Chains A and B, each alone.
Chain A
Amino acid sequence: MKLRHGLMAAAAAAAIMAAPVAKAETFKYAFQGNLSSLDPQSLNETFLLGSLGNIYEGLVLYDDNLGVIPGLAESWETIEPTKWKFNLRKGVKFHNGNDFTAQDVVFTWKRALTEGSDQKVRGSKIKNIEVIDDHTIIIETPAPNPILTADLIYIYIMDKEWAEANNATEATSASADNTNNYANLNANGTGPFKIVDHKADIKTTYERNSGYWKKIDSNVTKVEFTPIKEAATRVAALISGELDLVYPVPVQDWKRLDEAKGVKALAGPEARTIFLGMDQGRDELLYSNIKGKNPFKDIKVRQAFAHAINLDAIKKKVMRGASIPSGLMIAPQINGHVPDLNTPYAYDPKKSKALLAEAGYPDGFEVTMDCPNNRYVNDEKICQAVVSMLAKVGVKVDLLAQPKSKYFGKVLATGGFDTSFYLLGWTPGTMDAENVLSSLLSCQNKETKVGLFNLGNYCNPKVDELTKKVGSETDQAKRNAMIKEIFQTVKDAYGYLPLHQQPLSWGVSDRVTVSQRADNGLDFRYVVVNK
């Protein structure tokens, strides 16, 4: 694998050197949202981090397939379970010409822990950084952490001198007390592209960094990004040839793109899993006609729900064939995925009815379902389909579909987990199962800060215990066995009802070749303008 990468890099390098000086190639694209800040520590959001990943870099990088490859660190080794030695790359310069050194790494880490940072969680995975020399550091972790490198990807290294000179030594805060942070509207990284003009929400222009340390596939010299909120406008701009790439494209527009000349829909599975959750913590559901007890505490009811939902029908009718039904809470791209357990619960409405009768609800019951209507691909339609499927087995579901800001405000911890039955989607930011185990499958615990997105409080002490062990086990085989055991336990208990991995949906002009990463990130390193 390593060798193949090396060969490919060498081949690419040879190709670039052989080619005459490339002429200016501009790549124009649009996304539905905007690049709210240029400060890589201001918001932990896929789009922001994905965009800034072209300007800034971590010690390690993702390749086009979410594999971890060396970035600003050339190599690393674990010298003790909690100590990692990183050899930093020499001769790398920031866009302003400053040298990249160990001091910048230490500075960045400390900055990630400042008040306004949204990267505190990643920052807290590091206990101390010891500087051996300008290009060698030892990172100490609070506990053995087998996936430290995954956390380092999004700790984008910033230039210490630059930040100090511009009074940007603290992360841009979401509150008003951190005025005019320079890093919010300016950037200085080591990446293959640099910002030449940034008007938040209107247009951002990038230019190729001619001094980039690595040979990359891309022949693009200039990139223009425009946020376009309206899907119809995005698609029109692509078909009219004004843009080279737009995303996301509504699933229902795929046919239109395929019929239009010079553009195509690019659809791949996203690493995001969409699932249903049920309140199994309270003694009485907040939103149901059953009083005095909680039907979801009975495994038969959860089982009945699982067998009442027809994932294939959702795939066919709602997702236009573009989703991948799932039996697991993580996608195949995520480290720790267990193919054996990925078979969804079988669709069997008869069994479902029988189970409800056994549980004491022969005529079903009523429950309210919370659903976002602008967060995931066709989220509201999925919920409507679930409602009608459950109606067939006698369960009457009142659907409460709301915009994401209202929805999240209600169902998340801030709203006191105010839900009985909900739809949610999750991509582990580390691309590792551990994140799902501790955020979604562990019992809610405000003190140890785990299970805080386990909105229905599925709780099994055995899972909690194993999750802790997974967090510090460095032997991959043992670790994966424990992950598998946890998923098996949750699956047997019908703790969650996974639905599918949703599709990524990009519209791409034939003028360019791009690589669609499963976390919906667009890496300019792999954008090639076709000749």
Chain B
Amino acid sequence: MVSFLFKRLLQSIIVMFTVALIAFSMFRFVGDPINNMVGQDTTQQERDDLRERLGLNDPVPVQFGKFIVNAAQGDFGRSYKYQVPVSDLIFARMPATLELAFVSAILALVIGIPLGVYTALKRSGIASKFIMTMSLVGVSLPPFLIGILLILFFGVILRWLPTFGRGEVIEFTSWSTGFLTASGLKSLILPSITLALFQMTLIMRLVRAEMLEVLRTDFVKFARARGLPDRLVNFKHALKNTLVPVITITGLQLGSLIAFAIITESVFQWPGMGLLFIQAIADVDIPIMAAYLVMIAFFFVLINMIVDILYYAVDPRLRADDE
């Protein structure tokens, strides 16, 4: 167990280091931040001084070394644009993204699993065929377009829901929540649907495929032969056995929900980390970009590790190898 954990940890560190390196070297190609930091009348001398003070004239390995050492201590430097520590910015934005991702994950599960079960059980029903066709749309339409269409329909034409932003938020020390106000909840609806749609269809299709597989197995046939009611067979025996891969996928997808929130956040001007990142790219705000990428990599690595450990706990075969 210990050696297993140690191996995983070592891999994670290598992954983090690689991401940091890639992120850092990528920024050499996004342009010169100085032009976004000064006005057109700023003299050349002042521009050069600024470069020097920001350390942009240091050799790349030195810049990278400084970055790694500081990042390991949670210090990502100061945003070029806002003049405040990047970690403050990221932490201020994190609640918005996490709340959005959380609601989307719940939506995807609560709608995706029942639909998957239904379409597996009533394979040739008209409703199932309709749902399957619609799910294709969900998988193939880009979230950007879905978001715009939702805004157009529910925001502009019907005027039921707000088209952008997070509504009123309530602050608890360092966490701002939109869950406690009517406008906050209303603002959540469109972005969370947009973000959830892809995951929802993915989960639905996964559950359906797994269900079909399990329904064919002997123990289900046997359960039916025992004369158990359908409800019991379908949900107690079949569904339970499909959930293992579903849980894995959902765990991993939570990471992508957070990462892919970028598009949804920029369509809805949702003030989360993704939006911060997109704007940082436009402004060539390198410290924010670096911090964001490392942060997201960290989320993925962390979630992966937890899933690995869960496997270890759940699957007796893995443990058996140790002995």
Contact = CB atoms under 8 A, between A and B. Distances in A.
Contact of A174 (B37, B163, B267, B269): B37
Contact of B269 (A176, A230, A414): A230
Contacts of B42: 44, 118, 120-121
Contacts of B44: 413-414, 446, 449, 452
B233 to A, nearest CB: 48
Interface in A105-123: 118, 120-122
A240 B155 contact: yes
Nearest to A185: B84
A241 interface: yes
A409 B155 contact: no
Interface residues of A, number: 59
A200 interface: yes
Given A43-B38, A177-B53, A413-B44, 5 more contacts: A120-B43, A175-B53, A201-B279, A229-B269, A414-B44
Nearest to A175: B53
A242 B164 contact: yes
A230 B279 contact: no
B39 A240 contact: no
Contacts of A118: 38-39, 42
B35 interface: yes
A429 B40 contact: yes
Contacts of A346: none
B41 A121 contact: yes
Interface in B50-94: 50-51, 53-54, 77-78, 80-84, 92
A233 B268 CA distance: 7
B13 interface: no
Given A202-B271, A229-B275, A415 B163 contact: no
A250 B119 CA distance: 44
A408 B35 contact: yes
9 contacts: A43-B38, A121-B43, A178-B83, A230-B269, A232-B267, A240-B162, A403-B31, A409-B34, A413-B44
B134 interface: no
Interface string A380-422: 0000000000000000000000011110110011110000000
Sorted nearest first, the 3 A-B pairs with minimum C-beta distance are: A44-B39, A405-B31, A409-B32
Nearest to B272: A202
A324 interface: no
Contacts of A174: 37-38, 50, 54, 80, 83
A180 B148 CA distance: 39
Contact of B54 (A176, A405, A412): A176
A231 to B, nearest CB: 11
Interface of B: 30-47, 50-51, 53-54, 77-78, 80-84, 92, 148, 151-152, 155-156, 159, 162-165, 266-269, 271, 275-276, 278-279, 282-284
A45 interface: yes
B75 to A, nearest CB: 10
Given A34-B279, A118-B38, A184 B159 contact: no
A405 B279 CA distance: 13
A176 B78 contact: yes
Contacts of A426: 40
Contact of A42 (B34, B36, B83, B284): B83
Interface of A: 34, 36-37, 42-45, 118, 120-122, 172-178, 180-181, 184-185, 199-203, 226-230, 232-233, 236-237, 239-242, 374, 403-406, 408-409, 412-415, 426, 429, 435, 439, 446, 449, 452-453
Nearest to B32: A409
B82 to A, nearest CB: 5
Contacts of B51: 414
A403 B36 CA distance: 12
Given A121-B42, A429-B41, A405 B275 contact: no
B211 to A, nearest CB: 39
A37 B282 CA distance: 17
B31 A409 contact: yes
A203 to B, nearest CB: 8
A200 B78 CA distance: 14
A449 B31 CA distance: 24
Contacts of B31: 403-406, 408-409
Contacts of B39: 43-45, 118, 429
B82 A175 contact: no
Contacts of A453: 40
Contacts of A236: 148, 151-152, 155-156, 163-164
